[in-house]
Amino acid sequence: MKIEAGKYYRRRRGDVVGPLTGVTWCDRTFMAADMTWHENGSYVLGLGHEYDLISEVYVSDTPPADAPAPGAKTLRDEFAMAALSGMLTDRDCGDVPATAVASAAYEYADSMMEARQCWKERRK
């Protein structure tokens, strides 16, 4: 698969990201949701990561009725802010690009969202 800017894709973990935009830093070529992918859809080092893009998805321009307002802060955003705060106080990020630190914060947030869902399912 060869990914393209402007399109939406499903990640290995099942969620959809996009539209992708082209970028040229850090040997990666596409970006969306504060994450980057190689042209073949692999995330990070192409090691079968859950964030790999696995298929193109058609997405309507009309959001569902229950979609949050554009720009509304989500629980995922709050988790990312908490992770970012900890990351910036715990270690020196001066030599790391801000986009890499922000992306890592959202990776932690995604893990927290998954753990939250697992916890909710166990409590049923």
Given CA atoms 91, 85, 22, 2 in this order, what sign does their dihedral have? positive
Please name every residue paired with 55 in a beta bridge, in sequence order, or none if there are none: 10
Does the N-terminal peptide bond of residue 19 adopt cis geometry, omega within 30 degrees of 0? Answer: yes
What is the per-residue pLDDT for 63? 60
75 φ/ψ angles, rounded to the nearest 5 degrees: -60, -35
Predicted TM-score (pTM) of this structure = 0.44
What's the confidence (pLDDT) of residue 22? 74
Q: Which two tokens stand for residue 23?
A: 């970028």
Beta strands in the chain (DSSP E): 8-11, 16-17, 21-22, 30-32, 35-37, 53-57
Q: Quickly tell me which residue has 């992770």 as its tokens.
A: 83
Q: How far is CA 118 from the centre of its chain?
A: 19
The rounded average pLDDT for each run of 10 residues, N- to C-terminus, in the chain (124 residues) is: 82 81 62 73 71 80 64 82 81 70 86 85 76
CA-atom Rg of the chain in angstroms: 16
Specify the pLDDT at position 70.
Answer: 64
- Distance between CA 17 and CA 9 in Å, rounded? 6
